[in-house]
């Protein structure tokens, strides 16, 4: 079942690239006591994700923070090294936390998986964004397959 507004984010261990290399981070750590703009992409380095989705959150980070967002988190079913490299390639710095859902545990727990096996990409995440307050989903913006409008930073800003 797909997560909905009002639901608590499941407790899952993810990975991020730290200053000394890969380090675990739990969803509890990411969301406890914070208002977070979370967005998920089908794949790092893929065309729409690199040209539009991640750049939209970079471009509007200050506006999101001005509207009460404490952190911006990008998640993808990729390994931590790919997410780290993509963050460097996109020059995210400390603006967006790049988080790897390497085995799709969070994506599956949210009910937002996307099977792209026929296209050689395997299990991925659907394209979505959500505002999470202290671990509870306040809004969920889900794009239908192949689309990119509802999950953009611009769409999220219009809702805040």
Tell me the C-alpha distance between 21 and 2, whole Å.
Answer: 33
In the annotation, is 74 catalytic? no
Give the pair of three-digit tokens for residue 123.
């299990």
Give the pair of three-digit tokens for residue 126.
């659907």
Give the pair of three-digit tokens for residue 67.
């509207």
Contact indicator for 136, 9 with CB cutoff of 8 Å: yes
Give the angle 155-49-44 at the CA atoms, nearest 5°. Answer: 135
Nearest to 125 by CA among 148, 149, 147, 101: 101
Q: Which of 14, 40, 44, 49 is catalytic?
A: 49
The residues carrying an active-site annotation are: 49
């Amino acid at each position: 079942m797909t997560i909905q507004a009002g639901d608590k984010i499941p407790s899952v261990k993810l990975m991020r690239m730290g200053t000394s290399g890969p380090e675990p981070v739990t969803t509890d750590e990411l969301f406890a006591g914070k208002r977070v703009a979370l967005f998920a992409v089908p794949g790092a380095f893929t065309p729409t994700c690199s040209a539009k989705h991640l750049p939209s959150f970079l471009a509007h980070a200050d506006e999101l923070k001005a509207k009460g967002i404490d952190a911006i988190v990008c998640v993808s079913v990729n390994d931590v090294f790919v997410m780290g490299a993509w963050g460097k390639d996109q020059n995210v710095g400390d603006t967006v936390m790049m988080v790897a859902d390497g085995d799709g545990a969070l994506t599956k727990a949210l009910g937002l998986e996307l099977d792209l096996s026929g296209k050689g990409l395997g299990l991925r995440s659907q394209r979505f964004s959500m505002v999470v307050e202290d671990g509870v989903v306040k809004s969920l913006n889900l794009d239908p397959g192949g689309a990119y409008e509802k999950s953009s930073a611009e769409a999220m800003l219009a809702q805040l």
